[in-house]
Amino acid sequence: MSDLYRMSLAALVKGLKNKEYSVTEAVKSCLARIEATEPRLNACISVLGEQALARAAEMDAQGPPAANAAEAAPLWGVPMGLKDIISLKGCRNTCASRFMEDFVPFYDAEVTARLKKAGAVFLVKNNLDEFAMGSTTENSCFGRVGNPWDLGRVSGGSSGGSAASVVAGQVFASLGTDTGGSIRQPAAMTGCVGLKPTYGRVSRYGVVAFGSSFDQVGPLARNVEDCARVFEVIAGPDHKDAASARTDLYPDNLPEQDCLDKTLEGKGKEPGDVLKGVRIGVPEEFWGAGLDAEVEGCAMSPLKKLEEHGATLLPVSLPSQKYALAVYYIMSSAEASTNLARFDGVRYGRRARQPKDLLDLYYSSRSQGFGEEVQRRIMLGTFALSAGYYDAYYRKAAQIRRLLRNDFDRALDLASGGCHVLLAPASPKTAWTAGLYEADPLTTYKMDLLTITLNLVGLPGLCLPAGLGKETKMPVGLQIMGRPFDEAAMLRLGAVIERLTPDIGLPGALDGALDER
Ligand code: GLN
């Protein structure tokens, strides 16, 4: 029973409900895994062993839900993680910031509440880049996260802790947040599956804000089906998030429940049957110069297989993509600077000691509490919003954002022969050596080029492993970009790609080396 942690989430739930093993055994297996890997991996900020074991004992005493109630608890007994920017009542929510080190929320985020109701057991709060700003999970006041495939490399970011935790077998799934790629890019770099839902599809109530017109919460899991299972639980309208989308906006009124059905269809039917009539766009701007050869080669191979099995590949152009990086960093930093204004040493978190006066209280609390990258974003954002510069930067960026969305609307317009989805790599490079761009934040920003666009246009993205890079032997991620609220179709296609692509498995390091290094 000690290697239960290796199972898929779907198989684990089945066994739990059939009483082949207990929730306590599942939790203990993960805890042992955490103990073995965590000292070197550093994927967790809090480990909630006692709490989780107590919850597991309660659940075991009650027994699994009756067969007809099975749908009501689809994640019954599943050990899970949460990025440490998502509220779990009574457990500190640090945002990997000195500012929030001791902050304990008194309510659950909506996603947390939904997962609890579905039977999930929270085992860890995962490490991240401070306030979700970064692409490597090196900007954490708790230290950097190692990549389970090679501890000397970064795990991607900002949800690098969630991704590493899932891949290392500490938990069966975790939640991340994605403002510019923070779910998809770490999924790509660690070789797991990550979904950034359509803007508004998942509630952000109880999630600390970074860029409010970009942020989405989504699952990271070890395969597409597990990802769909978690997504179904967290998705859907919530009146507590003002940007939450009403179900009647979804195309064909697709209910959340369709996501798992469609995923299973992608797993069960012949690929040719699923792919018949599917038009897949290949956007030239995402495959052009700047990609490492190993990424391009590896990410391209599933596309060829899809074509062999009957899908149609179409070249697509998104001409405004060349502005995406500039637009993203202006707008997301502007929003971050206003969102972070609430951290003033008075209302939340850290307060500087013995300030000279009120202004000094603000200055000192903020300069002591925020790390370097967060301060950089605040300065950049405040500048872009300041009188005299607003029109030149923020307004201009907002206009280009509209042009980008027009590009996608054209490419994905089914009525005029457009595509069902677009496919592209998720990162121009595989996970790089830790510290490589430490003195060069601009180069790190450039690495976000392939993920930020979907947040600018509000569309969903699913990232899954395409294989291992020839040179670095590190995971390469393939990104499915979809139509608004069409996650079900993306998951269905994802499940087909998963079948047509050789399984990269779990990192070899998991067979012991990770524990010993
Ligand atoms: N890497 C991007 C940034 O630093 C995206 C972060 C995110 O999605 N939270 O802004």
44, 76, 94, 475 from 55: Cα distances, Å? 20, 11, 23, 35
Q: Is 444 in the pocket of ligand 1 (CB under 6 A)?
A: no
Which class for 85: exposed (0-12), middle (13-18), buried (19 or more C-beta within 10 A)? Answer: buried
Nearest CA to ligand 1 atom 10: 133
**β-pairing, 193-196 with 216-221?**
antiparallel
Ligand 1 nearest-atom number relative to CA 178: 8
Which of the listed residues 138, 332, 429 should we mutate to test ligand 1's pocket, taking the one with most ligand atoms within 8 A of CB?
332
Nearest CA to ligand 1 atom 5: 180
Q: Which residue segments constitute the domains of the chain, with CATH numbers given?
A: 4-267+501-515 (3.90.1300.10)
Q: What pLDDT score was predicted for residue 515?
A: 43
Which class for 231: exposed (0-12), middle (13-18), buried (19 or more C-beta within 10 A)? Answer: buried
What is the residue-level pLDDT of the chain in tens, covering all 517 positions? 679 999 999 999 999 999 999 999 999 999 999 999 999 999 999 999 999 999 999 999 999 988 766 567 999 999 999 999 999 999 999 999 999 999 999 999 999 999 999 999 999 999 999 999 999 999 999 999 999 999 999 999 999 999 999 999 999 999 999 999 999 999 999 999 999 999 999 999 999 999 999 999 999 999 999 999 999 999 999 999 999 998 777 666 566 778 999 999 999 999 999 999 999 999 999 998 789 999 999 999 999 999 999 999 999 999 999 999 999 999 999 999 999 999 999 988 899 999 999 999 999 999 999 999 999 999 999 999 998 899 999 999 999 999 999 999 999 999 999 999 999 999 999 999 999 999 999 999 999 999 999 999 999 999 999 999 999 999 999 999 999 999 999 999 999 999 999 999 888 755 554 544 3
Q: By C-alpha distance, which of 314, 286, 304 is closest to 416?
A: 314
CA 185–ligand 1 middle distance (angstroms): 9
Do the Cβ atoms of 165 and 171 come closer than 8 Å? yes
Q: State the Rg of the chain over Cα.
A: 22
Do the Cβ atoms of 177 and 215 come closer than 8 Å? yes
Largest CA distance in the chain: 71
Q: Is 332 in the pocket of ligand 1 (CB under 6 A)?
A: yes
Q: Is 159 in the pocket of ligand 1 (CB under 6 A)?
A: no
**β-pairing, 421-425 with 279-283?**
parallel
Nearest CA to ligand 1 atom 2: 180
Give the tens place of pLDDT for each residue, 46-99: 999 999 999 999 999 999 988 766 567 999 999 999 999 999 999 999 999 999
Q: Is 96 in the pocket of ligand 1 (CB under 6 A)?
A: no
Give the tens place of pLDDT for each residue, 371-387: 999 999 999 999 999 98
The answer to pTM > 0.85 is yes
Return the sign of the alpha-carbon dihedral for residues 38, 43, 48, 53.
negative
Q: By C-alpha distance, which of 252, 235, 222, 232 is closest to 80?
A: 222
CA 452–ligand 1 middle distance (angstroms): 8
Q: What pLDDT score was predicted for residue 102?
A: 93
CA 84–ligand 1 middle distance (angstroms): 15
Q: What pLDDT score was predicted for residue 56?
A: 98
Contacts of 75 (CB under 8 A, 6+ apart): 9, 13, 115, 118, 119, 120, 229, 230, 233
Residue with token string 């121009």: 428
Q: By C-alpha distance, which of 166, 81, 148 is closest to 115?
A: 81
The DSSP output letter for 413 is -
Which of the listed residues 452, 453, 456 should we mutate to test ligand 1's pocket, taking the one with most ligand atoms within 8 A of CB?
452
Structure tokens belonging to residue 60:
């075991």
- 101 DSSP β-pair partners: none
Do the Cβ atoms of 212 and 381 come closer than 8 Å? no
Count of alpha carbons within 13 Å of 37, Cβ hemisphere only? 34
Structure tokens belonging to residue 156:
């991607």
CA 179–ligand 1 middle distance (angstroms): 5
